Amino acid sequence: MDKRFESLQQRIGHRFADDRLLTRALTHRSFGADHNERLEFLGDAVLSLTISGLLYERFEGSDEGDLTRVRAHLVREDTLHRLALQLGLPEVLYLGEGEARGGGAQRASILADALEALIGAAFLDGGFDAARGVVQGLFGEVIATTDIASWTKDAKTELQEWLQARRLPVPTYRISATRGQAHAQTFEVECSVPALSLTESGEGRSRRVAEQEAARRMLDALKLTDKPGSPLQS
Protein backbone atom coordinates (compact mmCIF):
# COMPACT_ATOMS: atom_id res chain seq x y z
CA MET A 1 0.00 0.00 0.00
CA ASP A 2 1.04 3.57 -0.71
CA LYS A 3 2.98 5.03 2.24
CA ARG A 4 0.64 8.02 2.23
CA PHE A 5 -2.25 5.68 2.95
CA GLU A 6 -0.32 4.07 5.79
CA SER A 7 0.17 7.46 7.39
CA LEU A 8 -3.48 8.40 6.90
CA GLN A 9 -4.65 5.21 8.58
CA GLN A 10 -2.47 6.00 11.56
CA ARG A 11 -3.95 9.48 11.79
CA ILE A 12 -7.57 8.29 11.71
CA GLY A 13 -6.90 5.36 14.03
CA HIS A 14 -8.23 2.62 11.76
CA ARG A 15 -6.35 0.15 9.61
CA PHE A 16 -8.41 -1.14 6.71
CA ALA A 17 -8.76 -4.86 6.18
CA ASP A 18 -10.11 -4.10 2.70
CA ASP A 19 -7.91 -1.37 1.27
CA ARG A 20 -10.20 -1.09 -1.76
CA LEU A 21 -12.68 0.71 0.48
CA LEU A 22 -10.03 3.23 1.46
CA THR A 23 -9.10 3.81 -2.18
CA ARG A 24 -12.74 4.29 -3.16
CA ALA A 25 -13.33 6.74 -0.31
CA LEU A 26 -10.56 8.94 -1.66
CA THR A 27 -11.65 8.77 -5.31
CA HIS A 28 -13.59 11.70 -6.73
CA ARG A 29 -16.11 11.07 -9.49
CA SER A 30 -13.91 13.00 -11.92
CA PHE A 31 -11.30 10.24 -11.64
CA GLY A 32 -13.43 7.22 -12.51
CA ALA A 33 -16.62 5.25 -12.10
CA ASP A 34 -15.60 3.61 -8.81
CA HIS A 35 -15.89 6.88 -6.91
CA ASN A 36 -16.82 7.84 -3.35
CA GLU A 37 -20.34 9.27 -3.62
CA ARG A 38 -22.14 6.22 -2.23
CA LEU A 39 -19.66 6.02 0.63
CA GLU A 40 -20.17 9.72 1.28
CA PHE A 41 -23.93 9.13 1.53
CA LEU A 42 -23.35 6.37 4.06
CA GLY A 43 -20.71 8.29 5.98
CA ASP A 44 -22.96 11.31 6.34
CA ALA A 45 -25.53 9.17 8.17
CA VAL A 46 -22.91 7.43 10.33
CA LEU A 47 -21.34 10.76 11.23
CA SER A 48 -24.66 12.29 12.23
CA LEU A 49 -25.59 9.30 14.39
CA THR A 50 -22.17 9.15 16.05
CA ILE A 51 -22.03 12.88 16.78
CA SER A 52 -25.58 12.69 18.16
CA GLY A 53 -24.52 9.93 20.53
CA LEU A 54 -21.40 11.76 21.67
CA LEU A 55 -23.35 14.95 22.31
CA TYR A 56 -26.08 13.06 24.15
CA GLU A 57 -23.47 11.60 26.49
CA ARG A 58 -21.49 14.82 26.93
CA PHE A 59 -24.32 17.33 27.46
CA GLU A 60 -26.68 15.46 29.73
CA GLY A 61 -28.80 18.44 30.73
CA SER A 62 -29.22 20.01 27.30
CA ASP A 63 -32.44 19.95 25.31
CA GLU A 64 -33.02 18.77 21.77
CA GLY A 65 -32.74 22.24 20.25
CA ASP A 66 -29.31 22.92 21.75
CA LEU A 67 -28.01 19.48 20.76
CA THR A 68 -29.31 19.90 17.23
CA ARG A 69 -27.57 23.26 16.83
CA VAL A 70 -24.26 21.95 18.17
CA ARG A 71 -24.45 18.94 15.86
CA ALA A 72 -25.13 21.25 12.91
CA HIS A 73 -21.95 23.20 13.77
CA LEU A 74 -19.88 20.03 13.96
CA VAL A 75 -21.05 18.34 10.76
CA ARG A 76 -21.20 21.41 8.52
CA GLU A 77 -18.96 21.66 5.51
CA ASP A 78 -16.62 24.26 7.01
CA THR A 79 -15.79 22.00 9.95
CA LEU A 80 -15.32 18.90 7.82
CA HIS A 81 -13.14 20.85 5.40
CA ARG A 82 -10.86 21.97 8.23
CA LEU A 83 -10.55 18.43 9.59
CA ALA A 84 -9.84 17.06 6.11
CA LEU A 85 -6.99 19.52 5.74
CA GLN A 86 -5.61 18.51 9.13
CA LEU A 87 -5.66 14.87 8.02
CA GLY A 88 -3.82 15.73 4.81
CA LEU A 89 -6.58 14.51 2.49
CA PRO A 90 -5.57 16.85 -0.36
CA GLU A 91 -2.36 14.82 -0.74
CA VAL A 92 -4.14 11.47 -1.10
CA LEU A 93 -7.21 12.28 -3.19
CA TYR A 94 -7.69 10.77 -6.63
CA LEU A 95 -8.94 13.49 -8.97
CA GLY A 96 -9.39 13.75 -12.71
CA GLU A 97 -6.84 15.93 -14.50
CA GLY A 98 -9.27 18.78 -15.06
CA GLU A 99 -10.47 18.79 -11.46
CA ALA A 100 -6.91 18.64 -10.18
CA ARG A 101 -5.82 21.56 -12.38
CA GLY A 102 -8.82 23.53 -11.16
CA GLY A 103 -7.76 23.23 -7.53
CA GLY A 104 -10.16 20.45 -6.61
CA ALA A 105 -7.80 19.06 -3.99
CA GLN A 106 -8.41 22.17 -1.88
CA ARG A 107 -12.13 22.59 -2.60
CA ALA A 108 -14.18 22.51 0.59
CA SER A 109 -17.05 20.46 -0.82
CA ILE A 110 -14.74 17.79 -2.27
CA LEU A 111 -12.73 17.46 0.94
CA ALA A 112 -15.80 17.39 3.18
CA ASP A 113 -17.37 14.68 1.02
CA ALA A 114 -14.14 12.67 1.06
CA LEU A 115 -14.00 12.81 4.85
CA GLU A 116 -17.58 11.55 5.11
CA ALA A 117 -16.74 8.83 2.58
CA LEU A 118 -13.78 7.83 4.73
CA ILE A 119 -16.12 7.43 7.71
CA GLY A 120 -18.51 5.39 5.59
CA ALA A 121 -15.64 3.19 4.43
CA ALA A 122 -14.52 2.59 8.01
CA PHE A 123 -18.09 1.58 8.87
CA LEU A 124 -18.20 -1.00 6.08
CA ASP A 125 -14.71 -2.25 6.86
CA GLY A 126 -14.95 -2.59 10.63
CA GLY A 127 -18.55 -1.93 11.68
CA PHE A 128 -20.02 0.85 13.75
CA ASP A 129 -17.41 0.64 16.51
CA ALA A 130 -14.64 1.28 13.99
CA ALA A 131 -16.46 4.23 12.47
CA ARG A 132 -17.28 5.62 15.91
CA GLY A 133 -13.61 5.43 16.81
CA VAL A 134 -12.69 7.45 13.73
CA VAL A 135 -15.33 10.09 14.47
CA GLN A 136 -14.41 10.27 18.14
CA GLY A 137 -10.77 10.74 17.21
CA LEU A 138 -11.71 13.64 14.96
CA PHE A 139 -14.29 15.36 17.15
CA GLY A 140 -13.77 14.01 20.66
CA GLU A 141 -11.48 16.72 21.98
CA VAL A 142 -13.61 19.65 20.86
CA ILE A 143 -16.77 18.00 22.23
CA ALA A 144 -15.07 17.23 25.54
CA THR A 145 -13.67 20.71 26.08
CA THR A 146 -16.41 22.99 24.78
CA ASP A 147 -19.25 24.71 26.60
CA ILE A 148 -22.52 24.14 24.79
CA ALA A 149 -23.45 27.81 25.15
CA SER A 150 -20.47 28.81 23.04
CA TRP A 151 -21.91 26.81 20.14
CA THR A 152 -25.49 27.96 20.41
CA LYS A 153 -25.39 31.66 21.21
CA ASP A 154 -25.04 34.76 19.06
CA ALA A 155 -26.45 33.76 15.70
CA LYS A 156 -25.91 37.35 14.54
CA THR A 157 -22.15 37.00 14.86
CA GLU A 158 -22.15 33.63 13.13
CA LEU A 159 -24.26 35.01 10.27
CA GLN A 160 -21.96 38.00 9.84
CA GLU A 161 -18.88 35.76 9.76
CA TRP A 162 -20.59 33.37 7.32
CA LEU A 163 -21.32 36.22 4.91
CA GLN A 164 -17.91 37.87 5.29
CA ALA A 165 -16.19 34.55 4.55
CA ARG A 166 -17.98 34.63 1.19
CA ARG A 167 -17.23 38.33 0.64
CA LEU A 168 -20.87 39.32 0.97
CA PRO A 169 -22.14 42.45 2.75
CA VAL A 170 -23.32 42.13 6.34
CA PRO A 171 -27.08 41.74 6.92
CA THR A 172 -29.50 44.47 7.91
CA TYR A 173 -32.16 44.28 10.64
CA ARG A 174 -35.36 46.24 11.08
CA ILE A 175 -38.39 45.98 13.36
CA SER A 176 -41.34 45.06 11.15
CA ALA A 177 -43.99 44.88 13.88
CA THR A 178 -44.62 45.15 17.60
CA ARG A 179 -47.52 43.58 19.44
CA GLY A 180 -48.90 43.70 22.96
CA GLN A 181 -48.81 46.13 25.86
CA ALA A 182 -45.72 48.24 26.50
CA HIS A 183 -44.67 46.09 29.47
CA ALA A 184 -45.09 42.81 27.55
CA GLN A 185 -44.37 43.51 23.93
CA THR A 186 -43.46 41.01 21.25
CA PHE A 187 -41.13 42.25 18.54
CA GLU A 188 -40.95 40.99 14.99
CA VAL A 189 -37.66 41.71 13.22
CA GLU A 190 -36.66 41.17 9.61
CA CYS A 191 -33.12 40.13 8.73
CA SER A 192 -32.21 40.90 5.12
CA VAL A 193 -29.26 40.03 2.91
CA PRO A 194 -29.86 42.37 -0.04
CA ALA A 195 -27.01 40.92 -2.09
CA LEU A 196 -28.87 37.60 -2.20
CA SER A 197 -32.42 39.03 -2.14
CA LEU A 198 -33.19 37.03 1.00
CA THR A 199 -35.25 38.04 4.03
CA GLU A 200 -36.13 36.05 7.15
CA SER A 201 -38.10 37.11 10.20
CA GLY A 202 -37.89 36.35 13.90
CA GLU A 203 -39.94 37.11 17.00
CA GLY A 204 -39.01 37.70 20.62
CA ARG A 205 -39.83 39.52 23.83
CA SER A 206 -37.04 41.97 23.06
CA ARG A 207 -35.53 43.37 19.90
CA ARG A 208 -32.28 41.53 20.60
CA VAL A 209 -33.97 38.14 20.95
CA ALA A 210 -35.98 38.74 17.77
CA GLU A 211 -32.83 39.70 15.86
CA GLN A 212 -31.07 36.54 17.02
CA GLU A 213 -33.99 34.39 15.91
CA ALA A 214 -34.13 36.11 12.52
CA ALA A 215 -30.37 35.62 12.12
CA ARG A 216 -30.67 31.95 13.02
CA ARG A 217 -33.39 31.44 10.43
CA MET A 218 -31.31 33.26 7.84
CA LEU A 219 -28.34 31.01 8.60
CA ASP A 220 -30.49 27.92 8.18
CA ALA A 221 -31.81 29.21 4.85
CA LEU A 222 -28.34 30.10 3.58
CA LYS A 223 -26.89 26.72 4.49
CA LEU A 224 -29.64 25.00 2.51
CA THR A 225 -28.82 27.07 -0.57
CA ASP A 226 -25.04 26.86 -0.20
CA LYS A 227 -24.85 23.80 -2.43
CA PRO A 228 -23.32 23.11 -5.86
CA GLY A 229 -25.54 24.58 -8.54
CA SER A 230 -27.22 27.08 -6.21
CA PRO A 231 -26.94 30.88 -6.68
CA LEU A 232 -24.27 31.02 -3.98
CA GLN A 233 -22.14 28.58 -5.96
CA SER A 234 -22.60 30.14 -9.38
Residue after which a domain boundary falls, among 152, 185, 202 = 152
The total number of structural domains in the chain stands at 2
Structural domain including 189 reads 155-233
Q: Is the pLDDT of residue 231 over 80?
A: no
Give me the phi and psi of 199, to 5 degrees please: -140, 135
- Same domain, residue pair 133 and 145: yes
Hey, what amino acid is at 123? F
For residue 119, give the CATH number of its domain: 1.10.1520.10
pLDDT given at position 232: 57
Cβ–Cβ under 8 Å, residues 201 and 189: yes
Query: pLDDT of 12-69, one tens digit each?
Result: 999 999 999 999 999 999 999 999 999 999 999 999 999 999 999 999 888 888 888 8
Query: pLDDT of 136-152, one tens digit each?
Result: 999 988 888 877 776 66
Residue after which a domain boundary falls, among 152, 185, 204 = 152
Residue after which a domain boundary falls, among 97, 131, 152 = 152
Measure the CA–CA gap between 216 and 164, rounded to whole angstroms. 16
Residues acting as catalytic residues: 44, 116
Strand partners, 177: 188
Hey, what amino acid is at 187? F
Please, what's the b/e burial string for 150-177 (b: 16 or more CB within 10 A of its CB; e: otherwise)?
Answer: ebbeebbebbbebbeeeebeebebeeee
Averaged pLDDT of the chain: 89
Measure the CA–CA gap between 76 and 53, rounded to whole angstroms. 17
pLDDT given at position 234: 47
pTM metric for this prediction: 0.67
Q: What average pLDDT score do residues 205-231 get? A: 78
Query: pLDDT of 94-104, one tens digit each?
Result: 999 999 998 88
